[in-house]
Structure 1
Amino acid sequence: MIHIFYPDESADSAYSVNYKALYNRGYRGILFDIDNTLVEHGKDADERAKKLIRNLNELGFKICFISNNSEERVKRFNKDLHQSYVYKAGKPSKAGYIKGMKTLGTTPPTTVFIGDQLFTDIYGARRAGLKSIFVKPIGKDTEIQIILKRYLEKIVLFFYTHFNTKGKIRK
């Protein structure tokens, strides 16, 4: 039962994922969570995020941000990035992921999702049939519901790293 929350891969951050390898394996679309995946919660896109998205576009990836936040929040983050986005995505419902893929013109076999929360991001991506990459959160959580989820995530991650044959948290 706990396996439904396991990501396909994991990395220290969205900035340490081997995107060229993903592209070489046939992935063409990336759906990203925003808060604590690309920037600290509530922050605008910083230079590091801008550079990553620019590099991914140059590599040939289409990008879509998938967020449970309001349109105002996602628009503000995306202001200088000019990528597709889905706001109020309702993660872990698969509808937001499907909408993101439709926007990009990709399919589950050619799309990867990257996020920092197992119970919303990764579980939703799995439900939508996507390859999922779990990354460690960037910032410190301040919302009580996320803080509580992080404690439960630690249990899942313990089993993922110690008993999952796919292996360890990878860089």
Structure 2
Amino acid sequence: MNWMDIIIVLILAASVLGGLGRGTLRAIWALVAVVISALAAGLLYQPIGSLIFAIFGHPNASKVLGFCIAYGLVNAVVNVPVHWWSSRENWTMPGCAGCWDRLVAGAVGLVEGIATVELGLIVLIKYPIWILGRAALESVIGQRLLANLPFMFRLLPDTFRSVLELLK
């Protein structure tokens, strides 16, 4: 277990707590936003990374930063409607139904957290920068997530599938 495992646990815990606080509909929307953002970032990270490379000159850092920028921008745009709507409506159910609503939302939040962690690990392992790539590759929890629940690989271009070989 290394320091990356602690960060992964904190991200997963925050995702569950975020899901509990949002309610099921908003948690599902957040998960959909992660999927759409991953698809878009997989397509856009190289063009954005090449622009960043012209400034910084570090190829792996440029690709990681390009992926993060593409992911963040698309995620923000996809989440605009839910933030607009949730400022006008309460999306959680009252009473006992609200308890179940929040429990389901917590589970959806966990799935969202796993997807987000997997994306981060995949990108850092594929394009290692400084100590982050090695820490991601040596993460016990990260290896288990990527080996047992590799669903984010299907959303990314084929170039990221080489990460699976590194995990074996």
* TM-score, with structure 2 as normaliser: 0.29
Which of the two has greater helix per residue?
2
* Structure of higher CA gyration radius: 2
**Structure ranking higher on relative contact order (CA contacts 8 Å, 6+ apart):** 2
Which of the two has greater strand per residue?
1
* TM-score, with structure 1 as normaliser: 0.28
